[in-house]
Structure 1
Amino acid sequence: MSDTPSDCSAGDCTEHHTVVTEADVEALVRGICFKTGPPRAVGVEVEWLVHELREPRLPVSPERLRAAYAALRTVALRSALTIEPGGQLELSSPPAASLMECVRTVSADLDAVRTVLRRDGLTLVGLGADPWHPPRRFLREPRYDAMEAALDRTGPAGRAMMCTSASVQVCLDAGHEDPGPLGVGRRWWLAHTLGAVLVAAFANSPLLGGEPTGWLSTRQLLWMEIGAGRAGAPELDAEPRGAWARHVLDSPVMCIRSEDTPWDVPERLTFREWTRSGRPTREDLDYHITTLFPPVRPRGHLELRMIDAQPGDDGWIVPLAVATALFDDPEAAETAYRAVKRLTERAMALPAPHNPLWLDAARRGLADPELHDVALTCFTAALEALPRLGATAEVLDTVTAYLDRYVRPGRCPADDLLEQLRDADGRAHGKDIHP
């Protein structure tokens, strides 16, 4: 969702230039990053690669992207339009009161965006990672200069993530204080366990450089390679607010901003250490939180960040609908919770996404028998719940088609790409892959 009062970085009445202590940080994170109450709002952030319409393997020049994005800035959209470091396009919906309100808003905005891009010979492509083009920075801003410098210390995965990846991020309310299917503790646990099932069911990034990587979700592999400090979750067997507050304090500071000099990129300085040795402000804390990329990020609401971008014009609707049903319908939430409990042993070995469950989901998808069984149960429960959430027949048909094409046979969109790659009629090495 685009910035809302519940966004952890949007702030409150506290003076942003006030110096914060460890105790201040813990109190602020606990109070701002989890806004509790009955689940009411839903949102989605859809990221897309932007490719040539007729020759998708040809790189789009920065000049053409700039012209296209300038044209898009003149279009009236309800969703927030932003550009990612490699030139990927993102639409972030406003908080919606229902699933269908969210679907209609983003669908209309995407139609408008596609119309403008098509006039420039460009198109939106739903893939979790670009299968053809190497990382190339489009945006030259201090934030991304600092991010690149920090992530380069752990290898090439950071640049690939910044410049060649795309996702569907589902945003749901944190939940109320009471225990039960819609309580914040249950939803936090469910997000980190069901999240692996969503990785497996929607894996759609098996290629880099036109070659198979050995992973069905290479995008998820990139996040794992960035490291637990930047892209990992906190311990799951602890109270969510306290666990996230400790994680924020103990995660490395990506950069220290400056108005008139290059931003400093410290090594091995945690925010906790910064509060002891320096004078970070509330504004520094807010910014620090935006540099953490766990698979589930609390921003007042819960941001589910683990789903690859999906193929087709309306492929993004399926993960949005399924996740919303499994979290916001009490009956479906209870079914999903009981189903994923079978995965607990693999999920609790390490925090996501570095535990065996998430690794198997990214590498094997629904070829993993246990993940396949749980996905079948969860998709079936979601389909039963969607009419109770007001889903239209068109949305139900879209989810049903996905269930029949992918989930029942234990497949995911990545399998389609790999089949095209293996085809013997001249489509080897990704030459004619058309997601």
Structure 2
Amino acid sequence: MSGTYNPGGEGAPIESIDQLGEYLAAGCKPAENFRIGTEHEKFGFALETHDPLPYDTEGPSVLKMLEGLKCFDWEPVEEGGYLIALKRNGASITLEPGGQFELSGAPLENVHQTCAEVNRHLKEVREVADEIGAGFLGLGFSPKWSLEDTPMMPKARYGLMKAYMPKVGTLGHQMMFRSCTVQTNLDFSSEADMVKKFRVSLALQPVATALFANSPFGDGGLNGFQSYRSHVWTDTDNNRTGMLPFVFEDGMSFHRYADYALDVPMYFVKRNGEYLDATGQSFRDFLDGRLPALPGEKPVMSDWEDHLSTLFPEVRLKTFLEMRGADSGAWDSLCALPAFWVGLLYDDTALDAAWDLVKDWTADEREGLRLAAGRHGLRAGWRDHSMTELAREVLAISREGLNKRRMLNGYGENEGHFLDELDEIVASGRTRADALIERFNGEWDGSIEPVFTEAAY
């Protein structure tokens, strides 16, 4: 039986602004119930031509991938008669605008389980891809295809976003169709815990950007950045992106974030399975029954959930915190990212140490570090030091946090071993982007085609 998305409009109307903050606060849970969710995206391509996968074609396609994956007990999800997602045991496979495949993992107890989920998913994807003549790339930005070359998936919200993006920034279409990320979603126990984790993870998001930098290509050549994906977010839509300086101000709370979200222009409202164009309109007006897209009607909580999903800061608050600063990458990096953040945020001593490290940073310093990380990676400067030195210190805090969790696998290893790859990157001072640039300028002789083998899963 095919699943369907929430058609929208169901439930009681929201009666007060307080309910919006209370929705976020409902995410609080005791530490023993903390979970880890990992999301990662990847580019599909035809093995024979290295072209992007269209939604449907006689050759390899996105639709054939989704249909093939159903044999692994994934349940189909349709929108407007199109198969656009799959779901299984709390996880889902969804499509980004340009056909990027995204796994949204189930909430799991430890990084060992998260990595096992990633491994199972990529093995399933590779099995189906081999059957249809497709491959998948672990990069943060499309290395070759132009916007014109990139297909758009048949999801109604993407049509609204595509039309709206050029009105609010110059790089929104690049973000939609040509970028891929890996994210980790983590819990909090109280409002104070949320605020502390939010501040630490925002300040240190550029360190993750540098460590996971993996998008030096675009349009068949070098783009001048270590993480072009990170750069794209600097001019996508500044109303809904960035480092959120208000999070570091006195009075930060669930209700303060809700107040920020209310002032971010809307994208859409969903009713009876249809996406109504509300681009640029105000959720505050919606609360008062004055939304032009739905005059006289007030929002329900699913409208608020949808609106929160259209905010794209470096760390996003829902009923959990989303870490959004890293490029998608190689198989092992998809396990390293959740380990990095779990070590920092899920042990109180590590969280305190991380806060001590960042608490005197200014808003200008945090923003400057963000910009430098995208362009220079580990070679970015930091005060009188380098990003490499900062990353080494942060990794040591994370590893200690993971060691103290004492979450062991069947071989008696704790979660700290997932950081080994990142320690090697810091020790060498060379990111994945550096390695790709070196090969492009060397043995690849300026050709982008070898990346479809070297960066494939």
1:63-78 matches, cutoff 5 A: 63=57, 64-65=60-61, 66-76=63-73, 78=89
What CA deviation, in whole Å up to 9, does each residue of 1:81-122 have, x standing for no partner? 112221111111111122222222232232222212122222
Instruction: Find the residue that maps to 1:305 and give its secondary structure.
Output: strand
Q: State percent identity of aligned pairs.
A: 24
Instruction: Find the residue that maps to 1:35 and give its secondary structure.
Output: coil
- Which residue is equivalent to 1:237? 248
- Which residue is equivalent to 2:397? 381
Counterpart CA distance in 1 for 2:276 and 2:316 is 25
Residue 124 to residue 240, structure 1, CA distance change in 2 (3 Å): farther
- Which residue is equivalent to 2:82? none
What CA deviation, in whole Å up to 9, does each residue of 1:184-237 have, x standing for no partner? 221111111111111111111122112222221111111221122132354222
One-letter code aligned to 1:42: I
One-letter code aligned to 1:303: E
- Which residue is equivalent to 2:325? 306
1:287-302 matches, cutoff 5 A: 287-302=306-321
Residue 274 to residue 233, structure 1, CA distance change in 2 (3 Å): farther
What's the TM-score, normalizing by structure 1? 0.85
One-letter code aligned to 2:198: W
Counterpart CA distance in 2 for 1:22 and 1:132 is 48
1:153 aligns with 2:167: yes
1:185-200 matches, cutoff 5 A: 185-200=195-210
Asked if structure 1 preserves the Cα contact closer than 8 Å seen for 2:18 and 2:255, the reply is: no
What CA deviation, in whole Å up to 9, does each residue of 1:164-188 have, x standing for no partner? 21111101102335x6xxx222111
Residue 308 to residue 261, structure 1, CA distance change in 2 (3 Å): closer
Q: Structure 1 regions of 5+ residues with no counterpart? A: 1-8
Counterpart CA distance in 2 for 1:292 and 1:408 is 35
Residue 107 to residue 260, structure 1, CA distance change in 2 (3 Å): closer
- Which residue is equivalent to 1:134? 146
- Which residue is equivalent to 2:446? 428
Asked if structure 2 preserves the Cα contact closer than 8 Å seen for 1:87 and 1:138, the reply is: yes
Residue 223 to residue 301, structure 1, CA distance change in 2 (3 Å): same
Over aligned residue pairs, what C-alpha RMSD do you find? 2.8
1:214 aligns with 2:229: no
Asked if structure 2 preserves the Cα contact closer than 8 Å seen for 1:206 and 1:214, the reply is: yes
Q: Given the alignment, which residue of 402, 424, 433 partners 2:422?
A: 402
Which of the two has greater strand per residue? Answer: 2
One-letter code aligned to 2:65: A
Q: Structure 2 regions of 5+ residues with no counterpart? A: 74-87, 292-296
What CA deviation, in whole Å up to 9, does each residue of 1:283-317 have, x standing for no partner? 33222122112221122111111111012x22211
Counterpart CA distance in 2 for 1:336 and 1:85 is 36
Asked if structure 2 preserves the Cα contact closer than 8 Å seen for 1:36 and 1:184, the reply is: no
What CA deviation, in whole Å up to 9, does each residue of 1:372-397 have, x standing for no partner? 22210111232333343325549655
Instruction: Find the residue that maps to 1:160 and give its secondary structure.
Output: helix
- Which residue is equivalent to 1:415? 434
Instruction: Find the residue that maps to 1:81 and give its secondary structure.
Output: strand
What CA deviation, in whole Å up to 9, does each residue of 1:333-379 have, x standing for no partner? 2332223346x12xx139x7xx2221111111110243222210111
Counterpart CA distance in 2 for 1:233 and 1:289 is 16
Asked if structure 2 preserves the Cα contact closer than 8 Å seen for 1:154 and 1:226, the reply is: yes
One-letter code aligned to 1:218: Y
Q: Given the alignment, which residue of 215, 222, 225 partners 2:235?
A: 225
- Which residue is equivalent to 1:168? 182
What's the TM-score, normalizing by structure 2? 0.81
Instruction: Find the residue that maps to 2:311 and give its secondary structure.
Output: coil
Instruction: Find the residue that maps to 1:247 and give its secondary structure.
Output: helix
- The runs of at least 4 consecutive aligned structure 1 residues that moved more than 6 Å come to none
1:48 aligns with 2:42: yes
